């Protein structure tokens, strides 16, 4: 069994993979007062409660874009499993079949996305990741990352509006039917969600204008299924692309 960990700006996601499938996906907020012992105790309890078997994972790979919590998550998991983790970093990138731009700057989650896209398609692929940030990453057929675009994510936009205004509430992310709202909640939903639909369409349109209409478009991230009017623009919608990318890295390039 393999344990894949994606430490993002909002959540830490744990994927347990065995026998060709994800046996268990766990999720917990990233920003907690983590210590090594707290992480070890947390994962022990979750594992015990979910009861997916007595044999613990034999391999561990971690991707993190939040350095402040990485150490305690890593050490807590290593203590629990009594193994050393593979940590996504520029040192490992040299083993991958992709040419990574700005390896010291790019998020390791985007690298994992790129590995998945190249492994699955061997074509020009644009990965749209709906996370804390909304990212667009283009990988060509030869495995070269050609560029990245970053915008605030949906939840980030809603929280920013809520925190910077006196009378606007934080609203649920539900796709409205109308382009215009009839009260404060629906007005915010229509403005942000339809606005993001337009932004994603425009980015896909511009990338295809520059690189060709043949470009495959993938959607991932926890919020990838919310913007339903975009479904026809994607060749694949898969919330687990980052986890699958990390899995492929561990299985194929870190043996």
- Catalytic residues, by residue number, are 109
Closest C-alpha among 64, 52, 56 to residue 242: 64
SS3 state at 122: coil
Which helix (H) or strand (E) is 4 found in, with range? strand 2-7
Residue 100 near residue 114, CB atoms below 8 Å? yes
87: left (phi over 0), alpha (psi -120 to 50) or beta: beta
Q: How far is CA 174 from CA 2, 63, 180, 188, 227, in A?
A: 34, 29, 14, 10, 9
Residues 6+ apart with CB under 8 A from 194: 176, 179
C-alpha gyration radius of the chain: 19
Beta bridge partners of 144: 99
Question: What sign results for the dihedral spanned by CA atoms 62, 38, 155, 225?
Answer: positive
Whole-angstrom Cα distance, residue 185 to residue 181?
Answer: 8
Residues 6+ apart with CB under 8 A from 40: 76, 77, 79, 80
């Amino acid at each position: 069994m393999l344990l894949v960990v994606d430490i993002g700006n909002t959540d830490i996601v744990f994927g347990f993979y065995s026998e060709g499938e994800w046996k268990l996906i766990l999720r917990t907020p990233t920003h907690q007062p983590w210590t090594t012992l707290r992480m070890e105790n947390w994962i022990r309890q979750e594992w015990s409660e979910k009861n997916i078997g007595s044999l613990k994972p034999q391999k561990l790979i971690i991707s993190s874009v939040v350095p402040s919590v990485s150490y305690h998550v890593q050490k807590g998991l290593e203590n629990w499993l009594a193994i050393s983790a593979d940590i996504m970093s520029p040192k490992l990138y040299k083993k991958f079949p992709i040419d990574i731009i700005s390896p010291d700057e790019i998020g390791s989650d985007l690298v994992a996305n790129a590995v998945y896209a190249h492994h699955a398609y061997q074509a020009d692929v644009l990965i749209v990741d709906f996370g804390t940030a909304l990212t667009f990453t283009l990988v060509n057929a030869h495995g070269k990352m050609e560029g990245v675009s970053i915008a605030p994510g949906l939840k980030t936009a809603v929280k920013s509006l809520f925190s910077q205004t006196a009378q606007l509430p934080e609203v649920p992310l539900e796709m409205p039917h109308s382009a215009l709202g009839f009260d404060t909640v629906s007005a915010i939903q229509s403005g942000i969600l339809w606005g993001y639909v337009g932004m994603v369409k425009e980015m896909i349109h511009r990338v295809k204008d520059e690189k060709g209409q043949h470009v495959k478009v993938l959607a991932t991230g926890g919020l990838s299924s919310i913007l339903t009017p975009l479904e026809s623009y994607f060749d694949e919608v898969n919330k687990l692309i980052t986890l699958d990318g990390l899995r492929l890295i561990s299985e194929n390039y870190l043996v």
